[in-house]
Structure 1
Amino acid sequence: MQLQSAPYQDGATLIDQLFDPRDLSIGIFIFGDQSELADRRRMIARVFNPRLGLGQLHVVANNGVEYVLLCAPDGSPKFDEDSTQGAQHQLSTLELVAPDPFWRSVRISETPLAAFLGLFEFPFEFPMEFGIQSDYAYINNDGDVPCPINIEFNGPAVNPTIENVTTGEYITISRDLLENETLRINTAQGSKTVEITREDGTTENGWNYIRDYNISFFDLIVGENEIKYSADEGAEDATVVITYQKRYVGI
């Protein structure tokens, strides 16, 4: 919590509140005879090796909804020798730390833009399908905090732009995106990337094509977000897909 006080002020003024990394302590019982306990202790130590980095902790709530938390072991698992009961079970404690403290929805939501939305088709002798082109979408983030997005542009398009009309933030790519080229942007804090995959499968760092990138990497705010896609040329031929995972402060 960030507070600010002025001379002769009663109390303080709330400036902001930030989350610390999330600490978790999980106790588990290992069952088996002496040989099985030894094997299972080794398995737990191997899986929860701190050198392996971040892993995924999956939790299913009582209502059946599944959540995931990215976390890493804070040291090796601890085994309580005093808890061994007749070589039947042993208590182990796992200490985990989540640098990003927010739980995420396991389901990755996907929203297409600038794509033809199929409506119906007729059984003619040649294939014919009718649809409408959607260059905007309304995304409702019903999580607890803003969530980053992954954007995938598929060319062709000239200087494509994607905008969060609700907040006025936008991302513009100052480049001719060719047919069969794909631009991928990740707006997550600490994982921001801009990559272009060419037709031959090679990739190019696309940071230098971002216009006004100091304000471009927007999140989906809590509530409704109006997202719009446009381009100087080729907007009718390109496709854009936005994917995201909602964030929650607790489950």
Structure 2
Amino acid sequence: MIVSVNGYTINDPNSVNSCYLDEPIDGLGMPPVRTSSGNYSGRDGGYIGAQFFGMRLVTLTGYFFGTPAALETARRNLAAAVTNASFPVNITTNAGSQYVLYCSLDSLDMPIIRSLNRAPFKLSLIAPDPIIYDNSASGAMSVTVQPARGGGLTWPLTWKLNWAAGSQPTTVNNTGNVTIYPTITLTDIMTNPTITNQTTGQFFTLSGLTTAAGDVLKIDMKNRTVLLNGGSVLPYVTSTSSWWPLLPGNNSINLTTNSGTDTTVATLGWRSGYRSI
């Protein structure tokens, strides 16, 4: 397995770092689970509430190899790679699968030992988002959702008669095994748009919002932001709206607006993710 920590490559024989992992590699299995629980008062037993994943702690241990000068350089370079507040950790498994998670530094120990050509390290990383994302070319997903329209005739009738086809909700497939919060981009003219995940029964409505040709509305379901041409329009979000996710598997997504002349379409973007490698 090859690991790249903010661009610093570990366990790659083709890398100039000469830095290799030792066993075990901790933290790439199931993330910790947070559970609300308590005991019943005045009777046996207790209750378990909703369960959520906690932050992921990843621990990498190994050795630098090389001349004394090369060891010093390798140690400095690894320390420099993990000074940012948040950085990507890319993983390529022995099977060739590619993943990425986003981490911050917890600790880095690089004790000096007697050996002239070998030096150990232990790197602990915290991933606030416990999801391990598919980093392959097929992992980044994007689907266009057309507004739902009713079919039939348009009144008043004019010859030749045109029976318009209706449009159905769009099926969006989340190929991972965890729920993922997408980003949704709506462009051009729209009036009071509502985008619904009919699979979960949740919807997101912007009431009183109208846009013009060329406008771009971006909804980030994970970070809970709504930007119109770069400016926040959160006050338009109705109190009954939900910041909804995509469930694993197929999701039925529906887009509606309040005017038949609206030209908007929505693009859902997300990266599939997994509980563990």
Q: TM-score range by the shorter chain?
A: 0.7 to 0.9
1:1-20 paired onto structure 2 within 5 Å: 1-6=35-40, 7-9=42-44, 11-20=45-54
Whole-angstrom distance in 2 between the partners of 1:2 and 1:177: 43
Pair 22,205 (structure 1): closer, same or farther in 2 beyond 3 Å: same
Contact 1:113–1:135 (8 Å) recurs in 2 = no
Inter-partner Cα distance in structure 2 for 1:53 and 1:192: 21
| Structure 2 counterpart of 1:239, from 250, 265, 269 | 265
| 1:210/1:143 CA distance change after superposition, 3 Å | same
TM-score of the two chains, using structure 1 as the length reference: 0.80
Once the two structures are superposed, residues 79-115 of structure 1 have per-residue CA deviations (whole angstroms, 9 ceiling, x without a partner) of: 1212x53x22211111101112121222221111118
Residue 113 (str. 1) matches residue 145 (str. 2): yes
Does the 8 Å contact 1:114/1:235 carry over to 2? no
Distance 2:243 2:43 in 1: 41
Q: C-alpha deviations, 1:23-58, integer Å up to 9, x for none?
A: 111013222211111111111111111xx1111111
CA-CA distance at 1:231 after TM superposition: 0.9
SS of the counterpart of 2:213? Answer: coil
Q: Give the Å deviation of 1:196.
A: 0.8
Q: Go from structure 1 to structure 2 and tell me whether the alpha carbon gap of 1:57 and 1:156 turns closer, same or farther (over 3 Å shift).
A: same
RMSD: 2.2
CA distance in 2, matches of 1:55, 1:30: 22
2:127 is the alignment partner of 1:98? yes
One-letter amino acid of the counterpart of residue 65, structure 1: S
Identity of aligned residues (%): 24
C-alpha separation between the residues in 2 aligned to 1:96 and 1:160? Answer: 41
Aligned length: 221
Distance 1:159 1:144, change over 3 A: same
Worse overlay, 214-223 or 132-141: 132-141
1:207 offset after TM fit, Å? Answer: 0.6
**SS of aligned partner of 2:110:** strand
Give the secondary structure class of the aligned counterpart of 2:126: strand
**Partner in structure 2 of residue 118 of structure 1:** none
Ranges in structure 2 where 5+ consecutive residues have no aligned partner: 1-34, 148-164
TM score, norm. by length of structure 2: 0.73
**How do residues 1-251 of structure 1 correspond to structure 2 at under 5 angstroms?**
1-6=35-40, 7-9=42-44, 11-49=45-83, 52-75=84-107, 77-82=108-113, 85=115, 87-106=116-135, 107-114=139-146, 136-174=169-207, 175-188=209-222, 191-197=223-229, 203-212=230-239, 215-233=241-259, 237-251=263-277
SS of residue in 2 equivalent to 1:40:
helix
Describe the SS at the equivalent of 1:216.
coil
Q: Secondary structure at the match of 2:171?
A: strand
Alpha-carbon distance, 1:235 to partner: 6.3
Name the SS of the counterpart of 1:226 in structure 2: strand
Amino acid aligned to 2:37: L
Contact 1:150 1:186 in 2 (8 A): yes
CA contact (8 A) 1:184 1:194 kept: yes
CA distance in 1, matches of 2:81, 2:260: 49
Kindly state the Cα deviation for residue 176 of structure 1 after the two structures are TM-superposed: 1.0
Which whole-Å CA distance do the structure 1 matches of 2:259 and 2:146 have between them? Answer: 13
Counterparts in 2 of 1:39 and 1:162: CA distance versus 1, 3 Å: same
